Chain A
Amino acid sequence: MRRQRRYWLGVLGGCLGLLLLAVPYGQAHKVKHTPAELKAFQEVFLEQVRLGDLLFHGDAETERQLGVRLSRTGMACAMCHPFASDTHPHEFPKFQEQMQEFATLREMINWCIENPNEGERIDPNSPAMKALEAYIYWSNRGSKLDPGRH
């Protein structure tokens, strides 16, 4: 319980920090950034990576908080994709054989939720999807962009 509170405080703190640092809307990029601002941007991103990592590794508490059910087989994404390998975010969009369709990464994430995992597909713009995407991209950063590769 205490951990959970600490976690939400962390999220809140990150957001507040950003608010305080934020330049008035409409002025973004028109002023030079301080290291503190950059650090705050990075923290927001890494927080999403962390959340995505938890979801990807089947953390029940994070699923509950975000209101998603990614698996019904006991299996988590990471059991077939350690270090998010073989998710190939750098290859999207592409023709996806499994769906017989031109598809995005988010569509393929949902396909894996529904098929091997027998879970419930999630809103492509939901916080859970963004977090999963953040984790998958972060884990594959440095990979060469190669859209369309089978």
Chain B
Amino acid sequence: MDRTDALRLEHVRRQQRRHQNSGELARLRREMDKTLRPPGVHPDRSLGITRRTFLHRSLLTGAVAGAAAYGWFPLLNTIELAYGAETFSFAWISDTHLYPKEVNTRFVEKAVRAVKEVQAMQPPADFLIFGGDLAQLGDPVELQLGNEILKELTITKYFIPGEHDWYLDMGATWEKLFGTSPWSFDHKGVRFIGLDTISHAPDYWSAKKMTPKERMAHMATLDSSVAGAWAAVGREQLTWLDRTLSDWPKDRPVVIFSHNPLYEYYPPWNFWVRDWREVHEVLRPFTNVTNIHGHVHQVLYNEIGTLRSIGMLATSWPWPYAPEGVPPLTIPMVRVDPGDPFDGVGWGKMTVRQGERVDYEYMMWRQDVLATAPWDAGTGDNINQILSPRLADRMWPYQ
């Protein structure tokens, strides 16, 4: 990275900090972080993400040439993950949001492409985690289509649901096809956990006598307030998590998959779980926890206490960054070209290195993933933007 890039990056970060470090939420986060981070532990130094990324890019010319054949460029970030027993990788795909084939073929093409690329990984991934929102409207036809597409992948697959998979038939088709969650397994020295953060919505439909389709439609609208604060881990699952971790040494690595982020980013779009404080209480004794989540359809990175969170891309379409709450540790992704359906989307690859680290790569289908200048950043371009929550979703016909 040359000097001008470094200066621009610093500028992006400074602007972000100015925007995000003010206000009640930032104060709360700092307080949480202070309470939860053990003495002597500092935020991850590798958070010069972009510096490393550029470094890796220049070192990786060989690998990039190979990758170019697939049309993506690997970008690496390294985070410490102590005591992994051997090197292995796994892949993440989520947020395919499939409609029935006749309605939208682009989403099908992108899901198929991601599956093909994961299948072609060399060395092969040990497993795939599908992170939810396979379907757009929870339609059994959509879920079945997703099932067919994912069948092309012969490695072991694990599934957690997204809200779009659930609220037509309250998870009946999903669970029949992909089983129940939460679940947990140990793999090569790491404990992996899959959570269900989507099925705990307060009942917003019975009193209003909604049909299953209406219930699903409200849930499927990100900026609707009708479904309320639906994202949660829930009391029962928190107890399960606590129990599941009770026999695991506190300093050994834990990787938790969830559809929603496990911290408060932007509640109006349910970019959080409402009981994130309780989740952090349960995880508090563990010094090496990585949360990998979907739902936000964008590049995100955060740390609270010793929990690091990584937000993954969708294959379907990217969301803009929320108007507030983007963690200052996030290096924003680039602005997306609305004319290119393959822009701003992709899948993810995680490599657990022997003894030490998890590398994660955003397999975005474009050349540059992370922004270096504010005018190219998904956050920096919104410097003069002030948004208001909707009125109409509190009026007929939504109410």
Listed by A's residue number, 27 A-B pairs whose Cβ atoms lie within 8 Å are: A50-B395, A53-B390, A53-B392, A54-B392, A54-B397, A57-B392, A73-B104, A78-B222, A82-B269, A82-B319, A83-B223, A83-B268, A83-B389, A83-B390, A85-B322, A86-B320, A90-B384, A98-B339, A115-B339, A116-B338, A139-B387, A139-B388, A142-B388, A143-B384, A144-B386, A149-B384, A150-B381
The residues of B with any CB-CB pair to A shorter than 8 Å are 99, 103-104, 106, 136, 221-223, 268-269, 317-320, 322-323, 337-339, 341, 375, 381-382, 384-393, 395-397
User: Please, which residue of chain B has its CB at the minimum distance from the CB of A53?
Assistant: B392
Q: How far is the CB of A96 from chain B (nearest CB, A)?
A: 11
Cβ–Cβ < 8 Å partners of A115 in chain B:
338-339
A85 CA / B268 CA spacing, docked (Å): 13
- Tell me if A79 is interfacial: C-beta within 8 Å of chain B: yes
Residue of A49, A59, A90 touching B391 (CB-CB under 8 A)? A49
Contacts A74-B99, A98-B339 given; 16 further ones with Cβ under 8 A? Answer: A3-B397, A53-B393, A54-B392, A74-B103, A78-B221, A82-B319, A86-B320, A138-B388, A139-B388, A140-B387, A140-B388, A142-B388, A143-B384, A143-B387, A149-B381, A149-B384
Cβ–Cβ < 8 Å partners of B106 in chain A:
73
Q: How far is the CB of A109 from chain B (nearest CB, A)?
A: 12
Q: How far is the CB of B108 from chain A (nearest CB, A)?
A: 12
* Inter-subunit contact B221/A98 (CB<8 Å): no
Q: How far is the CB of A9 from chain B (nearest CB, A)?
A: 12
* Inter-subunit contact A75/B221 (CB<8 Å): no
A74 CA / B392 CA spacing, docked (Å): 21
Cβ–Cβ < 8 Å partners of B319 in chain A:
80, 82
* Inter-subunit contact B338/A146 (CB<8 Å): no
- Tell me if A141 is interfacial: C-beta within 8 Å of chain B: yes
* Inter-subunit contact B385/A140 (CB<8 Å): yes
* Inter-subunit contact B136/A74 (CB<8 Å): yes
Cβ–Cβ < 8 Å partners of A90 in chain B:
384-385
Cβ–Cβ < 8 Å partners of B387 in chain A:
83-85, 139-140, 143
User: Please, which residue of chain A has its CB at the minimum distance from the CB of B397?
Assistant: A3
User: Please, which residue of chain A has its CB at the minimum distance from the CB of B337?
Assistant: A98
Using A50-B392, A143-B384, A146-B384 as known contacts, say yes or no to A75 and B223 having CB atoms under 8 A apart.
Answer: no
Residue of B136, B320, B323, B397 touching A81 (CB-CB under 8 A)? B320
Cβ–Cβ < 8 Å partners of B382 in chain A:
85-86, 88
Cβ–Cβ < 8 Å partners of A74 in chain B:
99, 103-104, 136
Residue of B136, B338, B397 touching A112 (CB-CB under 8 A)? B338
A49 CA / B381 CA spacing, docked (Å): 25
- Tell me if A18 is interfacial: C-beta within 8 Å of chain B: no
- Tell me if A40 is interfacial: C-beta within 8 Å of chain B: no
A74 CA / B337 CA spacing, docked (Å): 19
Cβ–Cβ < 8 Å partners of B269 in chain A:
82
A3 CA / B103 CA spacing, docked (Å): 28
Residue of B317, B384, B386, B391 touching A75 (CB-CB under 8 A)? B317
